[in-house]
């Protein structure tokens, strides 16, 4: 059974970099599938951030592309998110998930539990 767990700081100062890691268990990232990050501001809807393959190929939401880097570490079975120059609008629950379609543009299943990241000084 595939499980995903998000970890990282819950508080980030404005203009700094948000860094989160998603650890995958029950499946080896190098065996395939794409892996994604999605966020949800408090009380609001979902926004796709980006997706990565075990080879390192990435796909980003154009609205965030200039500030986002998603990378993968197959040796640790993890993938990571970095979002630079954060502002209050980046406060959200950040989820990691597997792209269940086997392509980079699919549906997400399963999801990690999510981590609330607050941007505040």
Partner 1 sequence: EIVLTQSPATLSLSPGERATLSCRASQSVSSYLAWYQQKPGQAPRLLIYDASNRATGIPPRFSGSGSGTDFTLTISSLEPEDFAVYYCQQRGSWPLTFGGGTKVEIK
DSSP structural state of residue 102: S
Among 3, 28, 57, 63, binds partner 1 (CB under 8 A): 63
Provide, rounded to whole angstroms, the least separation between the CB of residue 71 and partner 1: 19
String marking each residue 78-97 x if it binds partner 1 according to CB under 8 A: -----------------x-x
Q: List, edge to edge, every strand of the sheet that includes 68-73.
A: 3-7, 18-25, 78-83, 68-73
- Alpha-carbon Rg of the chain, whole angstroms? 13
Which residue lies nearer to partner 1 by CB, 15 or 109?
109
d(CA 113, CA 69): 21
Residues that bind partner 1 (CB under 8 A): 45-48, 59, 61-63, 95, 97, 100-101, 105-114
């Amino acid at each position: 059974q595939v499980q995903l767990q998000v970890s990282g700081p819950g508080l980030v100062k404005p203009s700094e970099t948000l860094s989160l890691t998603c650890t995958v268990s029950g499946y080896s990232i190098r065996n395939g599938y794409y892996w994604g990050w999605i966020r949800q501001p408090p009380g609001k809807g979902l926004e796709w951030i980006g997706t990565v393959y075990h080879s390192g190929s990435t796909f980003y939401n154009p609205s965030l592309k200039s500030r986002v880097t998603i990378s993968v570490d197959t040796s640790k079975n993890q993938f990571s998110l970095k979002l630079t120059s954060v502002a209050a609008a980046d406060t959200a629950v950040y989820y990691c998930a597997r792209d269940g379609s086997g392509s980079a543009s699919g549906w997400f299943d399963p999801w990690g539990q999510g981590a609330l990241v607050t941007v505040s000084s």
